[in-house]
Structure 1
Amino acid sequence: MKRTVTRLADGRELIYFDRRDDADRSAMDERPLPGRATASELRYDPLLDEWVAIAAHRQTRTFLPSTDDCPLCPSTPGRPTEIPASEYEVVVFENRFPAYGDGASGGRCEVVCFTSDHGRSFAELSPEQVQTVIEAWADRTAELSAYPGVEQVFCFENRGEAIGVTLHHPHGQIYGYPFVPPRTRRMLDVARRHPGDLFAEVLSAEREEGVRVVVANDLWTAFVPKAARWPYEVHVYPHRRVPDLPALDGAEREAFGALYLDLLGRLDRLFGMPLPYVSAWHQAPVRTDRDLAWLHLELFSIQRAPGKLKYLAGSESAMGAFVNDVSPEDAARRLREA
């Protein structure tokens, strides 16, 4: 894997990931960009023991541009973008409108472009391209984990306007949180109190019962959790306990790519439409409880039926008490049949 590091006009880091050793990444960003002026601020909520980022500068971020104005497409003569090259495989760069980083909040936010093809989705990538994405995720997780102000690395993709996506180009993000987020803290607190091996027991029970398993291979299992919160929610576990993406071996990375493409295809065939989803990697914190954590992916959609979305209304938004309109067993069956 060839890794080329360069800088954008305002000093932000950009990294190309290429399978080809002869890839030319000499093009420079010559845009007259203003200097970075991030103004994120972390504020502590004493009632919930949580941190909130106040990032008012994100109000001015790019919002649903036309294809001709997409900032994530390769640069062309007369139309420079965030990526100076005229083509690319996978590229990662510092977010121009970060929720965290370079200010009082600490941390770092990056954008991952999965392909230079604006019209494709992750489900349509080749297996080779998926492997490049996985290598980029692992590379960035390892590097950001070494930053003194980063406590957890979160790789994720938001897909679809219904989810809140503001750029249609196939991409994801990576957050280097300056704290351990509430969801991770709670999971690991539960695992610490559990008398056995919590994650191993959950995976074993789902594989043994089988009714909620959607797809599996020798190294990974994808299942709808028994207490799923979302209409269509799938968790993907490696069969071997590893704390994070860099710890996966070559066989596990390859096996995940094949299974993940299968799973994404099922989601899109479910209602005959590109399903909006969030795809989120749960990795171990950088410095604490790495022995308790078990790397896994959480993939969920708010689409509960054709033309119907799952909205987080009073109970979910105000109290965090979820009500799911689709039974997990039925969701798993439908995805198996898709």
Structure 2
Amino acid sequence: MEIRKHPLTGEYILVSPHRLGRPWQPEGTCPFCPGAPETGFGWDVLLLPNKYPVVTREPPTPGGEELYEALPARGLSLVVVETPRHDVDDISDLPTEQIEKVLKLLIETQKKAEEDPAARYFLYFRNKGREIGVSLTHPHSQIYILPVVPPRVEAELRASEEWYRRRGTCLHCLITAREEKRVVYQNASWKSFVPYYARWPHEVHIYPKRHVTHLTHLRRDEIRDLADALRKTLCTLKTALSKPMPYILVLHQAPLRQETPHYHLHFEIYGMYRPDGRLKYAAGAELGASLYTLDTTPEEVAERLKTALSQCP
């Protein structure tokens, strides 16, 4: 287990061969249901150590080779079990109050992570759908507490900092304020929209209307409104086509303990079905050249999701 760095792109590779042993969509007993050996009873939301981690408290020293850089895979890999219920297809089927409990648990966990000087980034993400390789279908999400900042976030930090230096404004705030044409849903604190620069067939971003750098800086009303925005936005993905959509949800925020007047947190959701219901694969142009191709337009997707919103409670 180690973190290897790509010498040409700066990307990090989390090398974790032991993960081959994790269960893959097993039939029968669910390890996340109440009463399982790891879970017990009497909980609403549960935080568990990942049994097949990519980073750990006491990682082995990387071997390393001349020319290449490798880092110890130091950190934490955690699983958030979002509900005791196994019969729920998605967290959009949960009450807003339950999603709020999940968010509060994330915030508590991030506050603890901030106390560790070796922890640089709190990465929260959610994979939904067997079609994209989810190994366990009980509603859950994951946390990686990392010793490095993800390159995608680093790129966003650089671009937004350059804009701020030249113009004195936060680019994220401008996008949030001006994005109306492709809005899917909004409430008092949050706005979800299909970005002009969407890369995936049903991509939606959720931004706070106030400049906020970290999840831990959200007010109580903003946490409640975020739960509502997540539930409504994810519901549109479930109802937009003739079948529920697999998706990936990722939280982008500033590195731990770092204040950024030029960058603030947001959620990115990548709905993976094309408009015709077929799964979108990252192929030659995407993986080989980072040139994403869309079979639709972000404007058409926004209209489709806004129509689907009428079917969401």
Both proteins in one fold, TM over 0.5: yes
- Which residue identity is paired with 1:98? P
Deviation, 1:87, is 4.0
Deviation, 1:298, is 0.7
Out of 34, 43, 49, the position equivalent to 1:74 is 34
Matched, 1:109 2:77: yes
Out of 19, 26, 44, the position equivalent to 1:89 is 44
Following superposition, which runs of at least 4 residues in structure 1 exceed 4 angstroms of deviation? none
- Which residue identity is paired with 1:114? E
- Which residue in the other structure is 2:62 paired with? none
Does the aligned pair in 2 maintain the 1:87–1:116 contact within 8 Å?
A: no
Deviation, 1:333, is 0.3
- Which residue in the other structure is 2:246 paired with? 276
Deviation readout 1:217-256 (Å, 9 max, x if unpaired): 1211111000100100111111111111111001111111
- Which residue in the other structure is 1:211 paired with? 181
Deviation, 1:259, is 2.0
- Which residue in the other structure is 1:304 paired with? 274
Deviation, 1:169, is 0.4
Deviation, 1:263, is 1.3
Deviation, 1:167, is 0.3
Matched, 1:149 2:109: no
| Residues paired across the two proteins, number | 290
- Which residue in the other structure is 2:131 paired with? 162
Q: Give the SS at the match of 1:309.
A: coil
- Which residue identity is paired with 1:65? P
- Which residue in the other structure is 1:256 paired with? 226
- Which residue in the other structure is 1:48 paired with? 9
Report the Cα distance in structure 2 between the residues aligned to 1:159 and 1:337, rounded to whole angstroms: 22
In structure 2, list runs of 5 or more residues that go unmatched.
Answer: 60-71, 309-313
- Which residue identity is paired with 1:160? G
Report the Cα distance in structure 2 between the residues aligned to 1:244 and 1:288, rounded to whole angstroms: 9
- Which residue identity is paired with 1:96? K
Out of 139, 142, 148, the position equivalent to 1:173 is 142
Deviation readout 1:182-225 (Å, 9 max, x if unpaired): 0110000001111232111111221xxx2201111121111100
Choose between structure 1 and 2 for higher RCO, CA contacts under 8 A separated by at least 6 residues: 2
Deviation, 1:125, is 0.8
- Which residue in the other structure is 1:242 paired with? 212
- Which residue identity is paired with 2:24? F
Matched, 1:266 2:236: yes
- Which residue identity is paired with 2:221? A
Q: Give the SS at the match of 2:255.
A: coil
Superposed CA RMSD: 1.3
In structure 1, list runs of 5 or more residues that go unmatched.
Answer: 1-39
Does the aligned pair in 2 maintain the 1:271–1:305 contact within 8 Å?
A: yes
Report the Cα distance in structure 2 between the residues aligned to 1:94 and 1:147, rounded to whole angstroms: 17
Does the aligned pair in 1 maintain the 2:177–2:209 contact within 8 Å?
A: no
Aligned identity (percent) is 34
TM-score (norm 2): 0.89
TM-score (norm 1): 0.83
Which region of structure 1 is more displaced relative to structure 2, 214-223 or 145-154? 145-154
Does the aligned pair in 2 maintain the 1:280–1:299 contact within 8 Å?
A: yes
